[in-house]
Structure 1
Amino acid sequence: MLPSLAGPIIAGVIVDTVGWRWVFLSVPALITVAALALLRGLAGHPVSGGQVIAAPGLHREAGWAALTAVGAVLTQYGSGAGPLVPKD
């Protein structure tokens, strides 16, 4: 419940200080932090049957996925092809 109360306040402060675009550009960073915390928490955690998940390439694949997402956001932002970008 706390994020639903604090999120709009934090977003409003960001919009007032640096602009509305930074609210959306901060999402990949927040997702990356949450994904890293999740991966760290799940590393070596036993699954049903007593086996341990061994995924040595999982961290590398997650990094490439995050890098791809950031690249897509920057490409969209740089091209000015968004529906909210005013046309001159």
Structure 2
Amino acid sequence: MTSSAVRPVAIKIDEDIKARLKRLADARQRSSHWLMREAITQYVDREEKREAFRRETLNAWEAFRENGLHVTADEADAWMAQLEQGHDLEPPDAHV
């Protein structure tokens, strides 16, 4: 991120959170501002990954509804057991 892209944003937090944030910032030898930016960055990164996973799940469900292709739990378990034993196998073929 370049400095020209950084814009100030105001947030309202209660006094208890503000005090806790200050104590944590002091303990970490960081500013409260740094901690808030870090927390927001981690939250946004995590939630973007969750949203991508959610979209992939919905797309997979829709594909299954359209074509019926699937792998049974037993087939998936057997494949994963082989992976755990160090065998590098392709996943089982999907079927109707």
Q: What TM-score bracket applies, with the shorter chain setting the length?
A: 0.3 to 0.5
Output the TM-score relative to the length of structure 2. 0.35
Larger Rg: 2
